[in-house]
Chains A and B, each alone.
Chain A
Amino acid sequence: MSKLYIFAIGGTGSRVLKSLTMLLASGVKTRNAFDIVPIIIDPHAANEDLKRTKKILSGYQNIRKKLDANNLKENKGFFHHKITTLDELDGNLSDSFSFGLQDVTQCKFGEYLDYDTMGDSNKDLAELLFSGKSINSLGNEVSLLDVDMDIGFVGNPNIGSVVLNQFKDSEEFKVIASQFNEGDRFFIISSIFGGTGAAGFPTIIKNLRNAIKTNLPNKQIIADSSIGAISVMPYFNIMPSDDSPIKRADFIAKTKSALSYYKDNLTGQAAAINRLYYVMDDFSGTPFENDAGNNGQKNNAHFIELVSALSIIDFMGANNDELSTVNGKAQDPVCKEFSTRSDIGKITFSDLNHITEELISNPLASMMLFKKYLDENIDEVAGDIAWSKNNELLVDSNFLQSTFYRTHLKDFLNHFKEMIEEMSATERSFSPFNIGSDIATLISGKEGKAGWLKRNIKFDSIDAKLNSNSRDKTYSSVEDKLIALFSETMSEVLEENYKIN
């Protein structure tokens, strides 16, 4: 299976990666299957979003380890997508998902350059290139050379471009290169308006396309690889704050500058990217808290992140011949934008375009229903009901006490639910579910009906379906049975009872 290396850069990278993980977990279908290798790039190691994403990715892997690889090959159902860590590829790397940035802890940018020991002209040039002011973690104005590296680049992509360029010499990159095969792809998630993403994006692109000039293995393949990227433009409000270097007007200004730069250096004649996804939202809703970094930057999940994650699904769906690259130049590069059917503050499945709805409504609803079932019904029936006893694989109270169930699965689903809740709480909101209601009205705009009288569906209808679906099936383990059975059943229930295909 070809690999899709996803570079998730900065806070936005982590959040989009989280959304993607949820989409993958819920079993969103892709035309082509990829072994997904996420690499989080963020010097801001204390970033809450980053920590959460890493936890979710671990959870995903832990769940998937117990599942039968063969079942998963059907390219459908919960957790069927393979997510691989870098260290799984090589084993010598320190971190599972993060790219280990060097020399950023307790380090100012000037120290990173070792500015003080440069020759005079180089010093002068550096002083000019990195002129202007930023802000430190205490909210004090500092010059760029004094910016602390470990809170990210605080909106200074020029610094980021220098620091993140260490990527090219990193062990991680060497591992990727050594493992890189024909058909493997890259995808880069970044926001355009921050510091880290805006800087890391072109830096990584340049290093990949520039690989031919290195001594890396597979440098030709890398240089001519298929690269997709999403550039996330401003999509949320932040609280105005005089203390913060992050300002909404800045976001826009930076976006414009960066786009101009992309225009000249990535897209257009540069043709560095095979597929570039643009996304933004100008909805003025509840502002995010303005927090420059350090232990902050824990933001609610947002619909745009989900949309961004969908761009990766879209990219995975493209065929190789659509993404060919010759001599480092993408052939017929494509740019894409996303649309919904309606422009409203509270988006439900039916507000999405038909394709989008078809792609995600059934999986997300399946996962949601699965969560609802586990939360509200399984304790009552486990060990007694047919489906829990079939296949000589007992889903009983013991199993419900297992680490897999209690920690890995429940935690993961909690994150899922949390994400769904967060998305519905932000503005603009994505609110496909009525999370607190019973299952018949769980899905906004879609009532679940069961029986020939088409009464509101209840868990017993689902149990009946589970029972029937579990008959004559072979599962490799209880864990495998639980995931596979529910994946199949929930999807069918949604099709049959909710008319969600």
Chain B
Amino acid sequence: MSVDDATVRKIARLARIEIHEDKVTKMANELNGILNWIEMLNEVDVNGVEPMASAVAIALPMRDDAVTDGNIQSSILKNAPKADSGFFVVPKSVE
């Protein structure tokens, strides 16, 4: 599989990373280099193999339903670039 400039722009938008037009082709080439190298995985016979979802073969541990956290508004907002009256202030978004 290979990516062209249009695909790079699309992926960059999905990843919310701005790429200047004059860098798009370079990025496409770099990504293609990596993707071509990755192609060799197609040589492997993976018939009937379950994907390895986790290195740890245990069931999901569960916790009790109790309020043990939160109520730390000032800590939550401490590192905010912009906060007001207890809220995070972010650029206007539309529904």
Report whether chain A binds chain B: no
Residues of B within 8 A of A (CB): none
